[in-house]
Amino acid sequence: MSRFAGVLGLNRRELELIAPKNPRDRMIQIAQSKVNTKRLLEANDIPVPKTYAVLSTRRELSTFAWELPDDFALKPSGGGRGCGIVVMVGRHGDGWRTFSGRPVTRRELAFHVIAILTGDFSREARSDVAHFEQRLSSSLDITGNPTTGLPDVRVIVCDGRPLMAMSRIPTLASDGKANLHQGAVGVGIDIPTGLTTHAVHDGQPCTQHPDTKHDLIGARVPHWERFLDLAMRAAVLSGLGYTGVDLVLDDGLGPAILEINARPGLNIQIANLTGLRDALTALKVAGS
Amino acid sequence: MTSLASPANAAPRDRNTSVTALALLSLGLLVWFFEPLGALMQVFVERHGSATAALELLLVPVGATLIVVLRTMVGIEGFGIFSPLILAYAFVRLGTVVGLLTFMALLLAVTPARLLMDRFALLSVARTGILVAACAVVLFALSAFAPAYLELSSLGLPVVIMAGIIDRFVTAQMDQSTGEAVKLSLFTVLAAAILATFLQWGALRGAVAATPDLALLSFPLCLLVGRYTGLRVSEYYRFRAVADAGSVGAGKSGASGAER
């Protein structure tokens, strides 16, 4: 089983990385309030999606003027794993419509806000805060090919230094979502060069995008230095020693930060075909 | 601020561990000599006449430990630790096969209720309420036709848990994907079935009945398993591609592994 010596598992991630490096109170703050995390990053000149409105009580909702742009995202402040996020991409009559074209009225959005406030999407059903924010969009994925949905870049930062990186590119099967177990493609990125190295789809290594068939390997990620710089700065600001920083290459803003994860997943190892323990050893060797 | 380097905290943690280990060892020796639970069991039998009820209680720590092992070492991770545990008790009462069939029937019968709820936007508490109610009604209907020895109707608490699992199945289906939801539910049921079989195992029941202090082994076992940093059995499958790639490149020094 020595072939697996470099692979990081859930148990070791918990005991040797998260427990010693991520103080509990900071983890709770980061996980429970995307709004506050965004404010912190914004104050430090890190690009994040603009906040249009924050609703924390039903009274605020009843007096809300619904002055929103044509496209936006409505998110719970404390939700995890993308739960409870709805995205409007354009107008439809009095209301808006979703990515798939379904019309959504103000009343339905108000109901979703109530669901968020009640805590339907937060951990342990704790009451939560809803916020409307700028919809980030990228028309090209990191390999320079047209894409639907929103591909992202995940950088794992350990003690202020980038440890491993990947991009998640949506597919038809993942319905525009950049989530590997929903069918998105994971593409490993070599940190020093910003070149894509391996790709994985449904747990199997691949070289082409399953829908568009374009090559995924050997592409140079645009603005790679900027991605790394933002990820490292955000990770240090978060006060956490081991984080997964999620970024997006927005058409207008360029690289921008979507979210900071205090308990980043392990699938990034499959996308890079490299174990995180091996990467940690390499980081230690390079650092001393 | 972020440089909480591991060597710095390693030393005090190790010392704490050895002090704890020593304390536990002496506690264990005391238990070995005095058998406190054995003495309690004698009192129990004198007052209540039989050890059966006490045995059920003493098997709870054994079941909890098994769930901990299944999660952290095997990787059978369902919806939390309580769901499989209580489901296992339902299975014990009904027999594993009948229990499984009942659960499947509930899952199927409640699906229309779930589809109905998709139509109305509902707050999650209301949704859970409906699911619990639907499960109870369906189980009532089933028990009317079930043979008398099955005791389906005495399943009040397990019904709530089954409804809870179905609710989490629905949530997982909406938030993640159907595949993920099915996987989590299957693992919950699988863990419960393994547990139910284990708890009905005559040798185990006999051993705990004869030496009730065996139940106390749960504490050191959970402590040990709680510090296990190795891969789970399931992770050997999940990361097989990473291991295969690593062996091709023969990453003897860790650095070469990260370059690629």
* Average pLDDT value for residue range A14-28: 92
Tokens 């209580």, located at residue: B86
Average pLDDT, chain A: 90
Band (pLDDT 50/70/90 cuts) for residue B147 is confident
Is the confidence at residue B96, as pLDDT, over 90?
Answer: no
Of how many residues is chain A composed?
Answer: 288
Flag if A181 and B176 touch (Cβ within 8 Å): yes
Flag if A275 and B179 touch (Cβ within 8 Å): no
Tell which wins on pLDDT, A104 or B166: A104
DSSP character string of chain B:
-----HHHHHHHHHHHHHHHHHHHHHHHHHHHHH-HHHHHHHHHHHHHS-SHHHHHHHHHHHHHHHHHHIIIII----STTHHHHHHHHHHHHH-HHHHHHHHHHHHHHHHHHHHHHHHS---HHHHHHHHHHHHHHHHHHHHHHS-GGG-GGG-HHHHHHHHHHHHHHHHHHHHT-HHHHHHHHHHHHHHHHHHHHHHT-HHHHHHHHH-GGGGGGHHHHHHHHHT--S--HHHHHHTHHHHHHHHHHT--SHHHHHH-
Residues of B in contact with A111 (CB under 8 A): 121
Q: Is A143 helix (H, G, I), strand (E, B) or coil?
A: coil
**Angstrom distance (rounded) from CA A184 to CA A178:** 5
**Angstrom distance (rounded) from CA A12 to CA B226:** 11
Q: Residue A101 carries which side chain, given as an amino acid letter?
A: G
Question: Which of B1, B2, B71, B128 would best serve as a mutation to test chain A binding (most A beta carbons within 10 A)?
Answer: B2
* Average pLDDT value for residue range A95-119: 89
Q: What is the pLDDT of residues B15-49, one digit of tens each?
A: 777 888 888 888 888 888 888 888 888 898 888 88
* Average pLDDT value for residue range A111-126: 82
Is the confidence at residue A267, as pLDDT, over 70?
Answer: yes
* Average pLDDT value for residue range A200-219: 89
Q: Is A111 helix (H, G, I), strand (E, B) or coil?
A: helix
Collect all residues from B whose CB is shorter than 8 A from any CB in A. 1-6, 9, 72, 121, 123-125, 175-177, 179-180, 227-232, 235-236, 238-239, 241-247, 251, 253-255, 257-260
Q: What is the pLDDT of residue B258?
A: 33
Q: What is the pLDDT of residue B139?
A: 81
Is the confidence at residue B254, as pLDDT, over 70?
Answer: no
Q: Name which of B227, B245, B253 is nearest A273 (Cβ-Cβ).
A: B245
Flag if B255 and A285 touch (Cβ within 8 Å): yes
Nearest CA-CA distance, residue B96 and chain A, Å: 30
Flag if A269 and B242 touch (Cβ within 8 Å): yes
CB atoms near residue A225 (< 10 Å): 10
Band (pLDDT 50/70/90 cuts) for residue A185 is very high
Q: What is the pLDDT of residue B93?
A: 78
Band (pLDDT 50/70/90 cuts) for residue B259 is very low
* Average pLDDT value for residue range B205-225: 90
Q: Name which of B9, B121, B253 is nearest A108 (Cβ-Cβ).
A: B121
Q: What is the pLDDT of residue A81?
A: 67
Flag if B242 and A240 touch (Cβ within 8 Å): no
Q: What is the pLDDT of residues A22-50, one digit of tens each?
A: 999 998 888 778 899 999 999 999 999 99
Write the CA distances from B14 to A16, A87, B20, integer angstroms: 13, 49, 10
Q: Name which of B6, B242, B255 is nearest A275 (Cβ-Cβ).
A: B242
Q: Name which of B9, B123, B260 is nearest A115 (Cβ-Cβ).
A: B123
Nearest CA-CA distance, residue B84 and chain A, Å: 19
Least confident residue range of A24-38, A165-179, B174-188: B174-188
Nearest CA-CA distance, residue B187 and chain A, Å: 17
Is the confidence at residue A287, as pLDDT, over 60?
Answer: yes
List the single residue in A with minimal CA-CA distance to B250: A3
Least confident residue range of A72-86, A236-250, A256-270: A72-86
For the domain made up of A8-34+138-287, the CATH class stated in words is: alpha beta
Q: What is the pLDDT of residues A269-284, one digit of tens each?
A: 999 999 999 999 999 8
Percent of residues, chain A, with pLDDT higher than 70: 96
Q: What is the pLDDT of residue B8?
A: 41
Q: Name which of B2, B179, B257 is nearest A239 (Cβ-Cβ).
A: B2
Q: What is the pLDDT of residue B20?
A: 80
Band (pLDDT 50/70/90 cuts) for residue A249 is very high
Flag if B239 and A160 touch (Cβ within 8 Å): no
Percent of residues, chain A, with pLDDT higher than 90: 64
Q: What is the pLDDT of residues B98-117, one digit of tens each?
A: 888 888 888 787 777 777 77
Band (pLDDT 50/70/90 cuts) for residue A203 is confident
Q: Is A56 helix (H, G, I), strand (E, B) or coil?
A: coil
Cβ pairs A/B, distance under 8 A: 149
List the single residue in A with minimal CA-CA distance to B72: A11
Least confident residue range of A127-131, B9-13, B28-32: B9-13
Per-domain boundaries in chain A: 8-34+138-287, 50-133
Residues of B in contact with A121 (CB under 8 A): 175
Q: Residue A15 carries which side chain, given as an amino acid letter?
A: L
**Angstrom distance (rounded) from CA B63 to CA B71:** 12
Q: Name which of B125, B232, B247 is nearest A10 (Cβ-Cβ).
A: B232
**Angstrom distance (rounded) from CA A101 to CA A215:** 30
Angle at A249 between CA A237 and CA A132, to 5 degrees: 70
Q: Residue A280 carries which side chain, given as an amino acid letter?
A: L
Residues of A in contact with B76 (CB under 8 A): none
